[in-house]
Amino acid sequence: MTDQFKNYIDGNWLMAPSGKTFENRSPADRNDLIGVFPASGPAEVDAAVGAARGAFAGWRLVPAPKRGEILYRVGELLRKNKEEIARGMTREMGKVLKETRGDVQEGIDTAFYVAGEGRRLFGETTPAELPNKFAMSVRMPIGVCALITPWNFPMAIPTWKMFPALVCGNTVVLKPAEDTPLTAVKLVEILSEAGVPPGVVNLIHGRGEEVGAALVRHPQVQLVSFTGSATVGREIASACGQSLKRVSLELGGKNAQIVMDDGDIELAVEGALWGAFGTTGQRCTATSRLILHRQIAKKLTDMLVARARGLRIGDGLDESVDMGPLINEAAREKVLGYIDVGKREGARLLTGGAIYKSGSSANGFFFEPTIFDQVKPDMRIAQEEIFGPVLSILEVNSFEEAIEVLNSTAYGLSSSIYTQDVTRAFRAMRDIEAGITYINGPTIGAEVHLPFGGVKDTGNGHREAGTTVYDIFTEWKSVYVDYSGKLQKAQIDNAE
C-alpha cells in the first residue's frame, strides 16, 4: 500500500481538489517509492495564504515569550524523533545518515536558539532631543511569509526560516522542494503537536513553476524567503520588486579552499575531501575549487586523489558509506555535462568523471568523486556552480594570487584558507569577498548562532541564522512618548 500524503492548510490535512499527485522516490533506488504527494496549484496556494492571513491577527498578539515556549517544545519533539526523521531524509534525498542526523540537529539547535529570542527580540531605547520625551524602537511582525526551500537541507533550511518568522509573530506558508516533501510533512506534524495554532503554519506541495510562482505573486504574501539557484532568485526578486514585497534570497556559491605553502597538508586534505564530497557536493557551501600554492600542489593533490578513490559510495542508510547519490537524473546529467566541459577546456581529469555503478547502486543516481587539475581561473568548471562531486584544482605562486583567484567568480558565499601565518590569516579575513571565511577548516559547516549568507550573486544582502535573521522577519517601528503636556516641535531649529 503506497503512502499518500496531503497539504496542511488551516490545521487540516487536505488533498488537492484536482486529484493530481506526484511520486517521491529514493535517489538511491528508483524502485523505492516513498509516497505520493498532492500536485497543488494556485487554488491551494490561495487557501493556504488565506488561512495564514486569518491566523496572523491572533498570532501576532500572542506574547513573544509564549511563542518561544512553543518552539522550545518543537525542539524537544525534534530531538525525540531525530533518528526517524534522519532515516526518512536519507531515504528521500540520499545523503548519508551522519549528515541527515546533523541536518535534524540543526533544526533542534535552531529551535532552542530561537525559543530564547522570544524573551529578547531587542529594540533600542535612546535619549530624546527634547525634554520630557521618551524614544525607543521596537520590532513588529510583517505578516504572511512564503518560505520556498531546497532539497539538500530539508530540515535545517526550513527551520532557519520558519522558526525566526514564527517567534517574531508572522505566519507562514512552506513550499518544500518536490524532491523532499516527506521531511516537510514530519516537521509540520511536530509543529502541530507542539501547539502551533491552526493557520499559523501551512504546507503546500507541488512544482515551483506552479506553487512557488503563485506564492511569490500572491498579493497577501508580504515576504518571500527563497533558497535556490541564482537564476530563479533573479526571477523572484523581479516579481517581488513589482509589488515592493520584501524578499530574502540565499543563492549559489563557487567556494574555494586555499592551501598555502605553510599549511598543514594532511589537515587540508581532510578539509578538501569533506568540503568537496560531503553531501555529494550538493551544498551551496561545497568546496568546488582548491587553490594550491605551487610548492605543495603535487604532494597534496596525490594525497587527495588517493583518498577520493577510497571513498565508499552507496545507499546512505548503510552506516559504512561515505557518499550517497545525486538527487535526481537531471542533476546527474548536469554533472556529466560539466565533465565534458572540463575536458574540452583543457583541464586534466585525475579521477572519477563517470556514473558509479556497482551492485545495488545501478538503480540510483550515483556518481564518482571527481577531481580535475590544470584548471585555469576562467574555465567554466572554475566559474559556474556544478552542484555535484566535482573539484577543480588551481595552482598559484603567491598569497596575493590565491586571493585574486578566489575572488574571481560571480559568487561569494563561503571560503577557506589553510596557513600557519597569522598575518596571512588576517589578511584573508579582510580581503576575501565572501560572507563566510574559515581559517584552517573546510568551506562547509555553518553554526546556527552566526549569520549565514554571502555577497555578489550569492544573495541580496540578507543573512539567515544568528541575530541578523530577525531583520528579515520584522519591521522596525520608532516610538516617541511626549509627557511634557505641551506641543514640542522636532525637526525644526529649536536653538535659542
| Rounded CA separation 186/193 (Å) | 11
The one catalytic residue in 168, 284, 385, 395 is 284
Strand 29-38 vs strand 21-26: parallel, antiparallel, or unpaired? antiparallel
**Cα torsion 281, 284, 289, 291: sign:** negative
Q: In 3D, which of 210, 141, 201 has the Cα closest to residue 173? A: 201
Which residue from 314, 202, 269 is spatially nearest to 416, judged by alpha carbons?
A: 269
Please pick, among 250, 368, 395, 464, the residue that the annotation labels catalytic.
250
Catalytic-residue membership of 145: no
* 351 and 305 Cβ atoms separated by less than 8 Å: yes
**How is residue 348 written as a grid cell?**
586534466
CA distance 292 to 295: 8
* Number of CB atoms found within 10 A of residue 349's CB: 16
Q: How far is residue 81's CA from residue 8's CA, in Å, rounded to a whole number?
A: 20
The 3-state secondary structure of the chain, one letter per residue: CCCECCEEECCEEECCCCCCEEEEEECCEEEEEEEEEECCCHHHHHHHHHHHHHHHHHHCCCCHHHHHHHHHHHHHHHHHCHHHHHHHHHHHHCCCHHHHHHHHHHHHHHHHHHHHHCCCCCCEEEECCCCCEEEEEEEEECCEEEEECCCCCCCHHHHHHHHHHHHCCCEEEEECCCCCHHHHHHHHHHHHHHCCCCCCEEECCCCHHHHHHHHHHCCCCCEEEEECCHHHHHHHHHHHHHCCCEEEEECCCCEEEEECCCCCHHHHHHHHHHHHHHHHHCCCCCEEEEEEEHHHHHHHHHHHHHHHHCCCECCCCCCCCCECCCCCHHHHHHHHHHHHHHHHHCCEEEECCCECCCHHHHHCCCECCEEEECCCCCCHHHHCCCCCCEEEEEEECCHHHHHHHHCCCCEECEEEEECCCHHHHHHHHHHCCCCEEEECCCCCCCCCCCCECCEECCECCCCECCCCCHHHHEEEEEEEEECCCCCCCCCCCCCC
Q: Is the dihedral of CA 456, 458, 462, 464 positive or negative?
A: negative
Tell me which residues are annotated as active site. Answer: 250, 284
